[in-house]
Amino acid sequence: MWVGRQEFTKLENEAFALDEHAKGTLVFSSTPTAAKCPECDALLRRFNYRLYDLELEFCENQHGFWLDEGEDARVVELIKKTESNIDRDRRAEDKWAGAVKHLHSGSFLDKVRDLLR
């Protein structure tokens, strides 16, 4: 099915309303296909969606994306995975910050110095 660029963004936002920067780069590199854009007849290009193992086709003139059966659900699944990874990264960063703060506390440093004496 043909999905316009705005519709594609809405599809992604169903899973998680991240800004574009947080979602990551949509297209890193692409290769030409024989299929044509239904709006401008330009050849579509194939790419791995946000570097996941999901190949999609798109119009370089930003008219939209061609999604095969089930690829819309896969896009939503991958965006949910991105959201999960961001949440996990934030929790890890918070834990690390807490550990570093604890390491810099005077009482901890005093204990280490006492052990080394």
- Tally the domains of the chain: 1
In a domain? residue 113:
no
Calculate the average pLDDT of the chain: 80
pLDDT per residue as tens digits for the range 42-77: 999 999 988 888 899 999 999 999 999 999 888 888
In a domain? residue 31:
yes
Q: Is the pLDDT of residue 99 over 90?
A: no
In a domain? residue 11:
yes
Beta strands in 1-117 (DSSP E): 2-4, 31-36, 43-48, 55-58, 64-66
The predicted model scores a pTM of 0.63
What's the Rg (C-alpha) of the chain? 22
In a domain? residue 103:
no
In a domain? residue 14:
yes
- 78 pLDDT band, cuts 50/70/90, is confident
Q: Which residue has the higher pLDDT, 97 or 5?
A: 5
- 96 pLDDT band, cuts 50/70/90, is low
In a domain? residue 116:
no
Q: Whole domain around residue 27: which residue ranges?
A: 2-88
In a domain? residue 65:
yes
In a domain? residue 62:
yes
**pLDDT at position 46:** 95
